[in-house]
């Protein structure tokens, strides 16, 4: 019986190589763009209806290895009790629970996201007229007006998750934690990365315009 339990635990805690490699490559791409300075950011991918693969806490995303990707349960606890997942794992779990078709979540801390969220006191940043908007789900034209919800930062992650909960149904672009960074998701890792890159492009454009008119 004990051997059976140990084998099941080891199986549950194992990250498929292709999933670990996808997360490692995503981390390197974000690092190359300057979107995950120091040990900032986290990346995850859904394994099944009860497990998520996510980056280990305190690791630079540009230097990830397969061993830096661990498995957590749907409520954010390490499966084997050994790995320490990101402090913000609960926010990833919340997205997976809210959107059944989500397969990957990407979170980064760019300069544009940080500056634009700190200088804007509204509840959202508004984008319109950008061709790249069409990468987001349900968008087929640059003419649509899209809002990126802003939420105040909070070191109490469960409380932050409660603040985010009401924003998720309206988060066509993702959401932005003020002075912190963006959360973006998609059905696959390539789609989540494309949407993350598109959002960062929008934020960078808005930052350039803000600086030009300041």
Q: What is the pLDDT of residue 143?
A: 81
Q: What is the pLDDT of residue 205?
A: 94
Q: What is the pLDDT of residue 85?
A: 86
Model pTM? 0.92
Give me the percent of the chain exceeding a pLDDT of 70.
93
Output the CA angle 79-87-177, nearest 5 degrees: 135
Helices assigned H by DSSP within 14-168: 17-32, 89-98, 111-119, 157-165
Domain CATH number, residue 195:
3.40.225.10
Indicate the pLDDT class of residue 5, thresholds 50, 70 and 90: very low
Residue 161 has pLDDT above 60, yes or no: yes
Q: Are 193 and 24 in contact (CB under 8 A)?
A: no
Q: What does pLDDT average to over the chain?
A: 91
Domain boundaries, position 182 = 2-213
Number of domains in the chain: 1
Model pLDDT for residues 91-104, shown as the tens digit of each residue: 999 999 999 999 99
Indicate the pLDDT class of residue 1, thresholds 50, 70 and 90: low
Strand partners, 69: 55
């Amino acid at each position: 019986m004990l051997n059976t339990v140990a084998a099941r635990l080891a199986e549950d805690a194992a990250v498929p190589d292709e999933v670990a490699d996808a997360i490692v490559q995503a981390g390197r791409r974000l690092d190359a763009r300057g979107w995950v300075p120091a040990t900032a950011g986290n990346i995850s991918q859904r394994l099944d209806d009860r497990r998520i693969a996510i980056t280990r806490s305190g690791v630079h995303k540009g230097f990830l290895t397969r061993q830096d990707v661990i498995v957590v349960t749907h409520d954010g606890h390490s499966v084997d009790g050994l790995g320490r997942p990101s402090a913000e794992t609960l926010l990833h779990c919340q997205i997976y629970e809210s959107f059944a078709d989500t397969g990957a979540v990407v979170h980064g801390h760019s300069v544009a996201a940080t500056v634009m969220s700190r200088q804007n006191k509204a509840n959202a940043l508004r984008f319109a007229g950008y061709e790249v908007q069409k990468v987001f789900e349900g968008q087929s034209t640059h003419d649509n007006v899209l809002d990126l919800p802003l939420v105040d930062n909070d070191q109490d992650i469960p409380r932050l998750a409660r603040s985010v909960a009401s924003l998720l149904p309206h988060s066509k672009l993702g959401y932005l934690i003020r002075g912190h960074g963006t959360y973006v998701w998609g059905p696959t890792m390539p789609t989540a990365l494309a949407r993350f890159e598109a959002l960062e492009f929008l934020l960078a454009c808005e930052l350039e315009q803000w600086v030009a008119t300041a």
